[in-house]
Amino acid sequence: MKSLLLLPMLMLGVLFTSCTKENITQEVVIPNKTIQYIINKDQWQFDSRSQTQYVDIPVPEIDDYANQNSGILVYISEDQETWEAIPDVLNGSTFIYRYTNGRLFIEVQNADGSVTPAPDYTIYAKVVIVESDPIE
């Protein structure tokens, strides 16, 4: 008799203890922005102060918020298939970049710091803006 009561009690115990309430939260993910540019050999300018060749690229996506909070990454390529992250040495020349609101500057000089002629070939540039929220 006791065993007949034990079985329903066990089943009720399993039934009521296996229920859980789940809270599902969703985060909104803001995607990164990727902008591609073609830099022709006639776009390079010489800066006598820094002794570098440079190109000034308008990037309106770098607004004040992106400038202050997001990550700005730049990649270059000669063939749009193999990309190299800047800073980098490509064909014996060092490429670096700087940016401000609305503008990106890519500079090139010899790897030893000496003046180099401007690249005489087309360079493809990819600018990636990595969205980020500041921690305050």
On whether the CB atoms of residues 86 and 75 are closer than 8 A, the answer is yes
Measured between alpha carbons, how far is 132 from 72 in angstroms, rounded to an integer? Answer: 11
Average pLDDT in the chain: 86
Per-residue burial over 97-112, b if 16 or more Cβ lie within 10 Å, else e, is bebeeeebebbbbeee
Q: What's the token pair of residue 34?
A: 């990727």
pTM of the model: 0.74
Q: Which of the listed CATH numbers 2.60.40, 2.70.98, 3.40.50, 3.30.70 matches domain 33-130? A: 2.60.40
pLDDT tens figures, 22-69: 777 777 666 899 999 999 999 999 999 888 999 999 999 999 999 999
Instruction: Return the residue matching tokens 């399993």.
Output: 14
Predicted confidence band of residue 126 (pLDDT cuts 50, 70, 90): very high
Per-residue burial over 10-49, b if 16 or more Cβ lie within 10 Å, else e, is eeeeeeeeeeeeeeeeeeeeeeeeeeebebeeebbeeeee
Bridge partners of 46, per DSSP, are 53
Residue boundaries of the structural domains of the chain: 33-130
The confidence score (pLDDT) of residue 79 equals 93
